[in-house]
Structure 1
């Protein structure tokens, strides 16, 4: 039997949590709360290891074989990711007061205040805090790009494989149970209607932002080549729908590569840029994470300014580099930043994960489709003219 997709498991967990939370006694809710508490502590222990395991070798792998095209492509990816996050912040800060204003102020209060507490907890103190893990990862990652030899890189790459297995075999399988426990607790506390209302409105806004981003980035690519951006975007739709189904940028690379070449990018440029962008370009995921984080903070009545969120976006663009190729990898890599930079509690993190995973595939599809536009832009900026015979037939005007 084919394995049930993570999104389906998350949806089932939310529905079951809501229903069961309405009918079971407090003792059962306390049991669920105990599990979620233990899972939270384990997640907190693993997060610094995830940061070290993925960011350090990720930076090192980008740096190997450095050159003009590498710097140009990685720079475009980071700029696109940061601008996408800023756009998401501006949209959320201006729209949330309007689209989420139907909730009563009491309903939007901190959900932790009325949740049933765990019967016991087990402390799992992280070996290193999040910020120290980030700094350590940057030092080691950059160091591996300038020091000759591959011994440390191979060690870090093997460490990444171990952390990947922890995520793939432990965290991701247990995540639906964790979300089930959170929603059962919130349902028992009478808060779930508000949460679901927020989910629906945020989901719609995020999808619209994804579409606006794609039209914008293909508008730039089309203008640089005097080609119709909607024609270019149409040629990349197979990559979008492949990513929508696989929820993996890496799994979609062959499709992205094929259709990027079809829109006129030279083969050697596409062969280099597309696999790189699959790991470092996460504009769609950044839109999603920023929008969801803003929604969760709004639910807590937590005031945020641009200068509170902008450093988070800047760090997010780096932290998600080489995020694990599993569904939800980007948000797992971002949890440490949510806690250290935005002050997220364990319940806020759980809500954030549920919000993110509900539309993870759309963020991945946006990342992948945007890769085609950035590859086209990089191809022109690098001084190489694309083979645009087919594209030129669909010029502006």
Structure 2
């Protein structure tokens, strides 16, 4: 009997990439680190070009295949994603304001600031302008998907639907032959950069308690989301969490919700989410569901305020969270995208002077956030699949039967 060839799974590859990235950044010369970062950067550029096309293909087909109740499902998904983001941010402030004062030190400010803006420079880069930006891709996908769902076979034929379907197959081929196999290289380069520039160890050594509290909040958020999803769908929440491990690990390395879409789709399939629902919900929520990022941003903003004796209250945080819940829709395409989107709105918490996007306080905020961004992103994508399970259950139990 012929033996099956051993094949290393995605999760072990990602773990190995993280370890190798840290070792390279810690022990190898800068020239080699720049080489790895250059390769990772080239892949990142290609990835940013593909992401809007992936969103357009998957979200359009996901909505178009929902011949019944597409508008209702879109409204339900957006409401769940936005509500989850608001609740996560509010709870993050309540926990942070209660715990952080007991272990924050003013001396941490200068040490964290030293890592702001420090990174390994690549040898060269290639600029590839995406055909669409992320937000434009989402809006166009909504328009095409909803119109195809309502009009196909009634007011128009199947020509456009078949064209989008073929386009979706092309994108799927690109993902499985290029994007997913090269993700470990991308992750390795990310950790080489973070380790060589000192970001990771600087934050961990100075504010490890803040870091730990934020990670615990992320994990609790994931647990609660899957308990709710499991209760609604009558599935074992711990099985759902186990199925999410590849998506969580991928997001941990890429620091990009959008980059994790192909792996997260596989996780949704393992959860038993129907193909048309997962192709609709996962790419959509990758762009609108920011619970993990909101937890991190709110906690970091609270920490920075406490270090600088800036006033902060729930009354100032809530409008900030509500604004970011909408503004961050365009942010998931790149590592650190959420905090860069949040910069123009930090004045709502820090005040007009301290909240200057070019000032030192905001620079510290960016440095503090970036090092924890991967965990927030992993929380985001995990919650995406929890929402997917809920939406799939609602569709199967109510919409598909009554429409």
Same structural fold, with TM-score higher than 0.5 when normalized by the shorter chain? yes
How much does 1:48 deviate? Answer: 2.1
Q: Given the alignment of the two structures, is residue 36 of structure 1 paired with residue 46 of structure 2, yes or no?
A: no
Q: Given the alignment of the two structures, is residue 193 of structure 1 paired with residue 212 of structure 2, yes or no?
A: no
**Residue aligning to 2:109:** 105
**Residue aligning to 1:250:** 269
- Alignment RMSD (CA, Å): 4.6
Distance in 2 (alpha carbons) for counterparts of 1:285 and 1:44: 14
Asked if structure 2 preserves the Cα contact closer than 8 Å seen for 1:107 and 1:191, the reply is no
Distance in 2 (alpha carbons) for counterparts of 1:349 and 1:176: 23
Distance in 2 (alpha carbons) for counterparts of 1:140 and 1:173: 30
DSSP 3-state at the match of 1:248 = helix
Deviation digits for residues 175-208 of structure 1 (CA, Å, limit 9, x no counterpart):
2212211211221222222566576544421221
Asked if structure 2 preserves the Cα contact closer than 8 Å seen for 1:39 and 1:178, the reply is yes
The aligned runs of 1:66-81 (5 Å cut-off) are 66-67=68-69, 75-81=75-81
Asked if structure 2 preserves the Cα contact closer than 8 Å seen for 1:239 and 1:368, the reply is no
**Residue aligning to 1:160:** 168
How much does 1:171 deviate? Answer: 2.0
| TM-score after normalising by structure 2 | 0.64
**Residue aligning to 1:143:** 147
Q: Given the alignment of the two structures, is residue 59 of structure 1 paired with residue 78 of structure 2, yes or no?
A: no
**Residue aligning to 1:209:** 221
| CA 44–299 in structure 1, closer or farther in 2 if over 3 Å, else same | farther
**Residue aligning to 2:89:** 89
Distance in 2 (alpha carbons) for counterparts of 1:134 and 1:110: 38
DSSP 3-state at the match of 2:270 = coil
Asked if structure 2 preserves the Cα contact closer than 8 Å seen for 1:33 and 1:118, the reply is yes
DSSP 3-state at the match of 2:267 = coil
Deviation digits for residues 100-143 of structure 1 (CA, Å, limit 9, x no counterpart):
97583345449562212111111212223333333332332233
**Residue aligning to 1:355:** 375
How much does 1:46 deviate? Answer: 1.7
**Residue aligning to 2:11:** 7
How much does 1:354 deviate? Answer: 4.0
DSSP 3-state at the match of 1:41 = helix
DSSP 3-state at the match of 2:269 = coil
1:177 to 168, 185, 205: 185
The aligned runs of 1:309-388 (5 Å cut-off) are 309-312=324-327, 315=329, 338=338, 341-342=341-342, 354-355=374-375, 363=383, 366-367=386-387, 370=390, 374=394, 379=398
Asked if structure 2 preserves the Cα contact closer than 8 Å seen for 1:88 and 1:287, the reply is no
Asked if structure 2 preserves the Cα contact closer than 8 Å seen for 1:45 and 1:125, the reply is yes
Q: Which runs of 5+ in 2 are unaligned?
A: 247-265, 306-316, 345-366
DSSP 3-state at the match of 1:172 = helix
Distance in 1 (alpha carbons) for counterparts of 2:213 and 2:85: 18
Distance in 2 (alpha carbons) for counterparts of 1:184 and 1:210: 28
Distance in 1 (alpha carbons) for counterparts of 2:245 and 2:52: 30
Q: Which runs of 5+ in 1 are unaligned?
A: 222-231, 257-273, 320-330, 384-397
Q: Given the alignment of the two structures, is residue 308 of structure 1 paired with residue 323 of structure 2, yes or no?
A: yes
